[in-house]
C-alpha cells in the first residue's frame, strides 16, 4: 500500500477563481489527492485566509483508503476578505463609477460545498484539529463520504464560528457532514468535541 505523508505545510491567503464552473472536473485550491489505495497522513499543517470563488470546490480533496489528520488548523477560510484579492484583480471601472463592496462580493461569490475539505475514505482519524471561521453547503468545516466498511474517529476537535449559510435549496448544516449512503457500515467515534 502507498503511504503519503504531508507534514508542516502552511497555506495562507491563496485564491482560486473559476470563471466557468465545470462539475465534471474535480479540483481543490490546496491539494487534490486521488489515490484510492493509499494511506494519507496530514500532520501539523495550517490553512488560513484561503478563498475559493465561483466554485463549489474546497481547499482540500482527498480520496484514499485511509487518512490520519493530526494537529492541523483551519482559520478564516472562504470568508470574503477584499484586502486579499484586491492586489490581484483589475475591475475595469472608470474613476467616475461608484463601486461598493457588495458589488465586488457579487462578482466573487464564495459557494463552497464542503468548505475546508472533502474526504472520501474507508478509514478516517482526525485528532487535535481546530476549525474556525468557515462555511460550506455540506458541513462548514469538512465533509466525509464513507466507503465500504468505514471507521471514523473524531477526537479532540474544536469548531468555532463554522456555519452553513442556507442560501441554496440543497444544503446540509453542521460543522461536519458525514454521508454514509455509499458504505456497507459505519463505525463512528466522536470524543472531546467542542463547538
To the question of pTM greater than 0.85 for the whole model, the response is: no
Decide: 182 and 147 in contact? Cβ < 8 Å. Answer: yes
* C-beta atoms surrounding 103 within 10 Å: 12
> Averaged over 60-85, what is the pLDDT?
89
Q: What is the pLDDT of residue 99?
A: 73
Q: Where are the domains of the chain?
A: 3-16+23-79+103-194
Q: What is the pLDDT of residue 71?
A: 98
Tens digit of each residue's pLDDT (9 = 90 or more) over 87-115: 777 667 676 777 777 776 676 665 555 56
β strands within the chain, DSSP E: 3-7, 10-12, 15-17, 28-43, 46-48, 51-53, 58-70, 73-75, 117-135, 142-163, 176-179, 183-194
Tens digit of each residue's pLDDT (9 = 90 or more) over 137-176: 666 788 899 999 999 999 999 999 887 665 555 656 678 8
For residue 151 the three cell numbers come to 471507521
Of 161, 175, 121, whose CA–CA distance to 145 is shortest? 121
- Distance from C-alpha of 119 to C-alpha of 63, rounded to nearest angstrom: 6
- Distance from C-alpha of 42 to C-alpha of 70, rounded to nearest angstrom: 6
Amino acid at each position: 500500500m502507498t503511504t503519503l505523508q504531508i507534514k508542516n505545510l502552511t497555506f495562507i491567503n491563496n485564491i482560486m477563481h473559476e470563471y466557468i464552473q465545470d462539475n465534471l472536473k474535480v479540483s481543490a485550491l490546496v491539494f487534490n489527492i486521488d489515490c484510492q489505495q493509499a494511506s494519507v497522513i496530514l500532520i501539523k499543517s495550517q490553512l488560513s485566509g484561503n478563498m475559493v470563488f465561483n466554485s463549489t470546490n474546497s481547499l482540500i480533496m482527498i480520496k484514499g483508503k485511509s487518512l490520519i489528520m493530526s494537529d492541523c488548523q483551519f482559520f478564516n477560510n472562504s470568508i470574503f476578505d477584499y484586502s486579499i484579492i484586491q492586489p490581484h484583480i483589475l475591475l475595469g471601472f472608470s474613476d467616475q463609477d461608484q463601486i461598493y463592496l457588495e458589488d465586488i462580493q457579487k462578482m466573487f461569490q464564495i459557494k463552497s460545498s464542503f468548505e475546508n475539505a472533502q474526504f472520501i475514505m474507508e478509514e478516517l482519524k482526525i485528532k487535535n484539529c481546530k476549525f474556525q471561521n468557515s462555511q460550506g453547503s455540506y458541513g462548514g468545516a469538512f465533509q466525509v463520504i464513507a466507503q465500504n466498511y468505514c471507521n471514523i474517529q473524531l477526537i479532540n476537535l474544536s469548531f468555532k464560528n463554522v456555519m452553513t449559510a442556507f442560501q441554496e435549496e440543497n444544503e446540509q448544516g453542521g460543522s461536519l457532514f458525514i454521508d454514509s449512503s455509499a458504505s456497507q457500515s459505519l463505525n463512528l467515534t466522536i470524543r472531546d468535541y467542542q463547538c
